[in-house]
A and B are shown apart, each in its own frame.
Chain A
Amino acid sequence: MAAPRHSAFVRVTHWITALCFLALVVSGLEIVVSHPRFYWGETGNIGTPALFHFPIPASRSTVPTGYGYVMPDQNGWSRSLHFEAAWAVVLIGLLYAAYGLLTGHFRKHLLPAASDITWGALSREVANHLRFRRPGEAGAWSYNALQRVTYLAVIFVLFPLMIWTGLAMSPAFVSAFPAAQTVLGGQQSARTIHFFGTVLLLLFLFVHVAMVCLAGFRKRMRAMITGRPGA
């Protein structure tokens, strides 16, 4: 039996992460509905100007939204699900990082070759993507440079940023590690950055799924579920 396209470990952690991310997005947006206003700095409330806000009805009557009604309050289970999924994705992420370093997964499959990260090579790759050019046979067995850079950014920049800004909103964590909050400018800044991180992760998800569809949805899904890209 030939080596699978994706190892069993990568497949399992991929789908657990996908499930956790779905839970985090749904519960996170549900929490935003209770106060759809964002601020910068240490503090922010309905008595202070917002950096921006969403023109939606809120799930709490204390937020003036201009709507005559209040959305159903779903914060209880949303918060519980958010923290449970956060723990799951952090623990799985730590296992994945250990696996990636020990087995050479990051070095072999994700680190782009130096010759591939020149402006010329990357812009050719971007141009191919923008022309919706389907990847060749090699694309079924290896990631292209643009993919590698994107995956590395999601794994080593976006996910750690989400964990950091999440912890920077925790009064207990910040009491032990105040710099986690102060370097961001305060608890409200952490909340706002946490939200923009979500936007970037959602953007990644949409492009990721679009690319899977372009490359052949059935083949790519089969590769990530069974490990074999198939015929």
Chain B
Amino acid sequence: MGNLSRRKLITAGLTATAGVSGVAVAARLAARYGLIPPDHGGIYGPGETLTYATQRLLTRHSLAREFPRSQISKPPFQNGPPLQDEAFKRLQAGGFADWRLAIDGMVAHPASLSLAELRSYPSRSQITHLACEEGWSYIAEWIGVPLSHVLSVVGTLPQARYVVYFSMDREWWDSIDMADALHPQTLLTYGMNGGELPVGHGGPLRLRVPRQLGYKNVKYITRLTVTDSMKGFGKGLGSASPESGYHWYAGI
């Protein structure tokens, strides 16, 4: 290889050094600005991290499309049967009068809220698209209290980075970052299409994160925990989904 000159070697060496230090600097900056998702490790970590970081830079404040009432899917599509759980059925039989939403973690005033208390907060309704990772979708009106309002009532501490949410369906728990938690369209929903949120759609309370896929919109929410780190929650990957191969961030 006579033409592999010293100049070429030096150029290649410098390029490689610049590339490696560029990646290192990018990683430091990304960590400082909260652009690294909890499930950044493993062979699929780079794709997840690139998607999350890019979308956080591009979409931090953008609003999900809202639709006119005429676009609401009729009948509302229900994915699977309602929760079959004895404790849940007892609460349902009592009209969810004994149901409570527990809020704990990095908050100034931990709380246990009834449905009536949640309904007394300022409500917001929005007609948005819900897309499942499988490929199907529907449009519905969702009525509830913005999560940001509930968080301001309990007073999140400044170091808060994630809101973890737990379902009465014990297989499901998930978390979102503060950008999504404080987003005006992120709602704790108790109503749908003008009425109460049906049990089949996650009633009495479902978290709607309209800028992420269906699986982040966990049904039967019963507890919120505010935290600065996802370590200590499950395998520390941010939610139950990465434990079965899915990305934590589902803005895709």
Interface residues of A (CB under 8 A from B): 1, 31-32, 34-35, 37, 42-48, 60, 62-63, 75-77, 79-81, 83-87, 169-176, 178, 181-182, 187-188, 191
Between B71, B135, B212, B251, the greatest number of chain A beta carbons within 10 A of the residue's beta carbon is seen for B135
Alpha-carbon gap, A62 to B80, bound state (A): 7
Interface residues of B (CB under 8 A from A): 3, 43-44, 46-48, 50-51, 55, 58-59, 62-65, 67, 71, 73, 75, 77, 79-80, 129, 131-139, 210-213, 244-247, 251-252
Alpha-carbon gap, A48 to B76, bound state (A): 11
Residues of chain A contacted by B210 (CB below 8 angstroms) = 171, 175
Contact of B71 among A42, A44, A48, A79 (CB under 8 A): A42
Q: List 7 A-B contacts (CB under 8 A).
A: A37-B136, A42-B137, A79-B247, A80-B44, A80-B48, A172-B211, A172-B252
Residues of chain B contacted by A81 (CB below 8 angstroms) = 44
Alpha-carbon gap, A42 to B247, bound state (A): 24
Residues of chain A contacted by B129 (CB below 8 angstroms) = 42-43, 171, 187
A-B contact count, CB below 8 Å? 125
Q: How far is the CB of A24 from chain B (nearest CB, A)?
A: 12
Given A85-B47, A175-B211, 15 further pairs, Cβ under 8 A: A34-B134, A42-B139, A44-B136, A45-B136, A47-B77, A76-B244, A80-B245, A83-B247, A87-B46, A87-B50, A171-B131, A172-B62, A172-B211, A173-B58, A178-B65
Task: Given A43-B73, A80-B247, decide whether A175 and B62 contact each other with a Cβ distance below 8 A.
Answer: yes
CB–CB B134/A176 < 8 A: no
Contact of B252 among A34, A85, A169 (CB under 8 A): A169
6 nearest interchain CB pairs? A76-B245, A172-B251, A84-B47, A80-B44, A35-B135, A45-B136
Residues of chain A contacted by B131 (CB below 8 angstroms) = 169, 171, 187
Residues of chain A contacted by B73 (CB below 8 angstroms) = 43, 45, 47-48
Task: Given A42-B67, A171-B211, A173-B251, decide whether A31 and B137 contact each other with a Cβ distance below 8 A.
Answer: no
CB–CB B211/A84 < 8 A: no
CB–CB A170/B251 < 8 A: yes
Alpha-carbon gap, A101 to B44, bound state (A): 31
Q: How far is the CB of B16 from chain A (nearest CB, A)?
A: 15
Contact of B64 among A35, A60, A171, A188 (CB under 8 A): A171
Q: How far is the CB of A166 from chain B (nearest CB, A)?
A: 8
